[in-house]
Homo-oligomer: A and B are copies of this chain.
Amino acid sequence: MADEVLTHSTAYENLSVLTKKVGGRLAGSPGMVKAEKWGFEALKAAGADTVYLQECLVPHWVRGAKEEARIISKRRDYTPPLNVLALGNSIGTGEKGVSAPVLEVSSFDDLEAKKDQVKGKIVFYNYPFNPKFIKTFHSYGDAAKYRGGGASRAAKYGAVAVIVRSMSHAANNEAHTGAMQYDPNYAKIPAVAIGLQDADRLSQRVKDDPSAQVFLRTNCVMLADTIGHNVIGELRGSKHPDQYLTVGGHLDSWDVAEGAHDDGTGCVQSIEVLRTFKAMGYQPERTLRVVLFANEENGTRGGKKYAELAKQRNEKHIFALESDAGGFTPRGFIMDLPAELKAKVVSWRPLFEPYGIYDFDEVGGGVDVGQLHAALGTPMAELSPDSQRYFDIHHAPIDVFENVNKRELELGAFAMGALLYMVDKSF
> A residues bordering B, Cβ < 8 Å?
2-3, 6-7, 12, 131-132, 134, 136, 169-171, 329, 331, 354-356, 358-359, 386, 388-389, 392, 405-408, 411
Shortest A411–chain B CB gap in Å is 7
Copies of this chain in the oligomer? 2
Q: Note all chain B residues with C-beta closer than 8 A to A355.
A: 134
Docked-complex contact B389 and A132, CB < 8 angstroms: no
Q: List, in ascending order, chain B residues with CB within 8 A of A356's CB.
A: 134, 331, 359, 386
Tell whether, in the assembled complex, residue B388 and residue A329 are in contact, meaning their CB atoms are under 8 Å apart. yes
Compute how far the CA of A355 lies from the CA of B359 in the bound complex, rounded to whole angstroms. 11
Q: Let me know if B407 and A388 touch, CB within 8 A.
A: yes
Instruction: Check B408 against A12 for contact (C-beta < 8 Å).
Output: no
CB of A32 to closest CB in B, whole Å: 28
A-B contact pairs, 16 of them (CB 8 A): A3-B132, A6-B131, A7-B131, A131-B407, A134-B411, A169-B407, A170-B406, A171-B406, A329-B329, A331-B356, A356-B359, A356-B386, A386-B386, A388-B405, A388-B411, A392-B405
The smallest C-beta distance from A407 to any residue of chain B, in angstroms, reads: 5
Chain B nearest CB from A167 CB (Å) reads 15
- Smallest CB gap from A410: residue in B: B131
Report whether A7 and B132 are in contact in the complex, using a CB–CB cutoff of 8 Å.
yes
Q: In the complex, A167 Cα to B102 Cα: how many Å?
A: 54
B134 in contact with A2 (CB, 8 Å): yes
Given contacts A389-B405, A411-B388, contact A134 B354 (CB under 8 A): yes
Separation of A131 and B407 alpha carbons in the complex (Å) = 9
The one of B136, B170, B331, B408 that contacts A389, using a Cβ cutoff of 8 Å: B408
Which of chain B's residues have a CB closer than 8 A to the CB of A354?
A: 134
Contacts of A408 in B (CB 8 A): 388-389
Question: Closest CB-CB distance, A427 to chain B, in whole Å?
Answer: 28
- With a cutoff of 8 Å between Cβ atoms, the chain B residues found around residue A134 in the complex are 2, 354-356, 411
**Shortest Cβ gap from A358 to chain B (Å):** 6
A409: shortest Cβ distance to chain B, in Å?
9
Minimum CB–CB distance from A297 to chain B (whole Å) comes to 24
In the assembled complex, the Cα of A171 lies from the Cα of B410 at a distance in Å of 13
Bound-state CA distance A356–B406 (Å) is 22
Task: Tell me the complex Cα distance, A388–B12, Å.
Answer: 15
Q: A132, B2: Cβ atoms under 8 Å? A: yes
For A408, the closest partner residue in chain B by CB is: B388
Question: A131-B407, A134-B355 known; 6 other A-B pairs, CB under 8 Å?
Answer: A6-B131, A134-B411, A358-B358, A386-B386, A388-B411, A392-B405
A411 to B3, CA, bound (A): 30
Q: How far is the CB of A352 from chain B (nearest CB, A)?
A: 11
Nearest CB of B to A343, in Å: 19
A132–B3 alpha-carbon span in the complex (Å): 6
A65 to chain B, nearest CB (A): 30
Residue of B nearest to A404 (CB): B171
A388, B411: Cα distance in complex, Å: 9
If the complex has contacts A388-B405, A388-B411, A408-B389, are A171 and B6 also in contact, measured as CB distance less than 8 A? no
Q: Which residue of B lies closest to A5 (CB)?
A: B131
